[in-house]
């Protein structure tokens, strides 16, 4: 075969056009971080949709906790199951949604082991986009927690005594808090070697926050040294805000405290997480 015929040769295998023939190059568009993060958030959603078993923790845990605590401790703590359910549900929602934030660190830690992040990092997109996208995609998990907690709560007899708008605001506040707390989880996920360790460390963070708070019992029953911790605990403020918004208890400054914590968590842990991600080889 001569060179000329080789040059004129079209793909012999019957494949259509060549895979990489020159074509117009992609053009730059504005707001890359937002657009790329959204595209990557969609990736998280597809993954969640494909592996619904990964949602078992956040859907079943509030149900189990509500049933156990209401019927076992209700009588002793609040003098009646119905009263205790009203008191407990906002707390359980806050606790579960905070625990839901553990998953993102665990998932990202496993993701980094696979090659997919190499792919992202070799693309001309903002380096933080895969993380921001993954965190935003988790909103869906938090919505599912919220809905399943309310569903079982309603079946058991929980009732919102304020108005729907306040109730929605309460839920949004919880979801916002979880998103901000996610950055702690992401940071740990970037720093620690194994996903099991991420789980362990985050559990050690969330556990004291859940119990040394107003989630299960009124804080007045706690020893005074612990009350200091409880007064600073972000979950205390989140739960007090939700009780106010769901049940009309006094709101005080709790919403502001919660928002301040949200800002604080993001300001501190988002840059740390992004830095750890960039350094990760």
Nearer to other proteins, 116 or 147 (CB): 116
Rounded Cα distance, 200 and 40, in Å: 27
Closest distance to other proteins from the beta carbon of 19 (Å): 5
47 binds other proteins (CB under 8 A): yes
- DSSP codes joined into one string, 194-221: SHHHHHHHHHHHHHHHHHSSSSSS-GGG
Site string for other proteins, 76-115 (x = CB under 8 A): -------------------------------------xxx
Find the part of the chain contacting other proteins (CB under 8 A) among 7-15, 95-103, 196-204, 228-236.
Answer: 7-15
Tell me whether residue 1 is exposed, middle or buried, using C-beta atoms within 10 angstroms of its C-beta: 0 to 12, 13 to 18, 19 or more. exposed
Closest distance to other proteins from the beta carbon of 140 (Å): 15
16 binds other proteins (CB under 8 A): yes
Rounded Cα distance, 84 and 78, in Å: 5
Q: State the virtual CA torsion across 261, 209, 229, 68 in degrees, nearest 10.
A: 130
If binding means CB under 8 A, how many residues of this protein chain bind other proteins?
Answer: 42
Rounded Cα distance, 212 and 205, in Å: 11
Find the part of the chain contacting other proteins (CB under 8 A) among 32-40, 67-75, 183-191, 254-262.
Answer: 32-40
Tokens of 193: 């070697």
Nearer to other proteins, 39 or 147 (CB): 39
34, 46, 64, 268: which one binds other proteins (CB under 8 A): 46
Tokens of 66: 């509500």
Phi-psi map region of 213: left, alpha, beta (phi>0 left; psi -120 to 50 alpha): beta
Find the part of the chain contacting other proteins (CB under 8 A) among 29-37, 77-85, 257-265, 269-277.
Answer: 29-37
Closest distance to other proteins from the beta carbon of 1 (Å): 15
Site string for other proteins, 108-147 (x = CB under 8 A): -----xxxxxxxxxxxxx---x------------------
Rounded Cα distance, 230 and 228, in Å: 5
In angstroms, how far is CA 159 from the centroid of its own chain? 26
250 binds other proteins (CB under 8 A): no
Rounded Cα distance, 193 and 195, in Å: 7
29 binds other proteins (CB under 8 A): yes
> Where on the chain is the footprint of other proteins (CB under 8 A)?
11, 13, 15-23, 25-29, 32, 35-36, 39-40, 42-43, 46-47, 50-51, 113-125, 129, 281
């Amino acid at each position: 075969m001569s060179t000329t015929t080789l040059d004129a040769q079209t793909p012999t295998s019957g494949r259509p056009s060549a895979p990489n023939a020159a074509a117009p190059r992609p053009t730059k568009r504005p707001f890359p971080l937002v657009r790329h993060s959204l595209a990557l958030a969609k990736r998280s959603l597809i993954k969640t949709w494909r592996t619904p078993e990964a949602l078992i923790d956040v859907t079943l845990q509030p149900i189990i906790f509500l049933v156990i605590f209401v019927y076992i401790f209700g009588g002793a703590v609040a003098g009646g199951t119905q009263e205790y359910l009203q008191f407990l549900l906002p707390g359980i929602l806050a606790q579960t949604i905070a625990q839901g934030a553990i998953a993102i660190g665990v998932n990202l830690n496993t993701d980094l082991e696979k090659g997919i992040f190499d792919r992202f990092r070799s693309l001309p997109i903002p380096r933080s986009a895969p993380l921001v996208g993954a965190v935003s995609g988790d909103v869906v998990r938090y919505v599912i927690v919220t809905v399943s907690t309310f569903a079982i709560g309603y079946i058991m007899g929980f009732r919102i005594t304020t108005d729907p708008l306040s109730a929605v605001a309460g839920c949004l506040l919880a979801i916002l808090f979880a998103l901000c707390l996610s950055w702690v989880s992401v940071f740990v996920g970037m720093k620690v070697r194994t996903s099991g360790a991420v789980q362990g460390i985050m559990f050690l963070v969330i556990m004291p926050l859940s119990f040394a708070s107003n989630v299960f019992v009124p804080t007045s029953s706690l020893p005074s040294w612990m009350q200091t911790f409880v007064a600073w605990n972000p979950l205390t403020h989140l739960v007090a805000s939700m009780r106010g918004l769901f049940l009309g208890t006094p709101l005080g400054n709790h919403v502001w405290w919660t928002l301040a914590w949200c800002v604080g968590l993001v300001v501190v842990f988002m840059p740390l997480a992004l830095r750890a991600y960039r350094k990760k080889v």
